[in-house]
Structure 1
Amino acid sequence: MSIVTRPPIHPRLVLVSAIILPASGQVLNRQPFRGLLFLFFILLLGGYTLKTAAPDVSMIGKLSGGIFVYAMAIYDAYKTARVRHEVWRAAKR
């Protein structure tokens, strides 16, 4: 007996979503708690580097902690979506 599973969301859609709105890629991948964790650390490290950076540092430098976690969240969402999509394609064959 075959179990019909719905296809995962396309990885490119997850990537675009993750770039536009932080942690939305994890939500699309059905990992909302993971998305909340990424969002928490984006805010935590962004706030930390904002408060501890020297006054003459650019705004990008002041928010670099949050930007780094944001980039990791984008990568994580896309990687997870790619793996799920490939597993689904292989199981479909």
Structure 2
Amino acid sequence: MTDSRAPAAPPSNPYLVLASAIVLPGSGHVMLGLPARGLQFLFFMVILGWVTTKVAPPDASFIGRHAGGFLIYALSVLDAYRIARVRYTIWAHRNHSDSDSATNSAKIDL
């Protein structure tokens, strides 16, 4: 029988997920257990990067020619960090609430 009051394992550190998502696009989502979401972002990065190379003027910079891909890359990084941050905050809140309720019940028993 498992104890329902046992603290859950902490989720991935949001800053580690952020660093991973910055270094390798889609890896932040993989760390969070959402590989399909990371692959979708990667797919749209490639597609929109390719599309903007076709519509950008020839004298545009590298970033200008691939602006669509960089936009999706930035959204991917923000999305991975947001998911990690929300999960971590919920975990911290639940564990803090559990410790408060245990402390309060101990005070009542006295």
Structure 1 Cα separation of the partners of residues 43 and 8 of structure 2: 32
TM-score, structure 2 length as denominator?
A: 0.80
Q: Secondary structure at the residue paired with 1:37?
A: helix
Alignment partner of 1:38 out of 32, 37, 41: 41
Percent identity over the alignment is: 47
Runs of 4+ aligned residues of structure 1 deviating over 3 Å after TM superposition are none
Structure 1 Cα separation of the partners of residues 37 and 9 of structure 2: 22
> Retained in 1: the 8 A contact 2:7–2:95?
no
Structure 1 residue 4: deviation in Å?
4.4
Which residue identity does 1:59 align to in structure 2? F
Q: Deviations over 1:16-60 (max 9, x none)?
A: 000000011111111111001000000000011012211111111
Which residue identity does 2:92 align to in structure 1? R
Q: Superposition RMSD on alpha carbons, in Å?
A: 1.0
Q: Secondary structure at the residue paired with 2:9?
A: coil
Q: Secondary structure at the residue paired with 1:8?
A: coil
Structure 2 Cα separation of the partners of residues 23 and 33 of structure 1: 9
Alignment partner of 1:74 out of 57, 74, 77: 77
Question: How do residues 3-82 of structure 1 correspond to structure 2 at under 5 angstroms?
Answer: 3-82=6-85
TM-score, structure 1 length as denominator?
A: 0.94
- Give unmatched runs, 5+ long, in structure 1: none
> Retained in 1: the 8 A contact 2:53–2:66?
yes
Q: Secondary structure at the residue paired with 2:47?
A: helix
Structure 1 residue 3: deviation in Å?
5.0
- Give unmatched runs, 5+ long, in structure 2: 97-110
Q: How many corresponding residue pairs?
A: 93
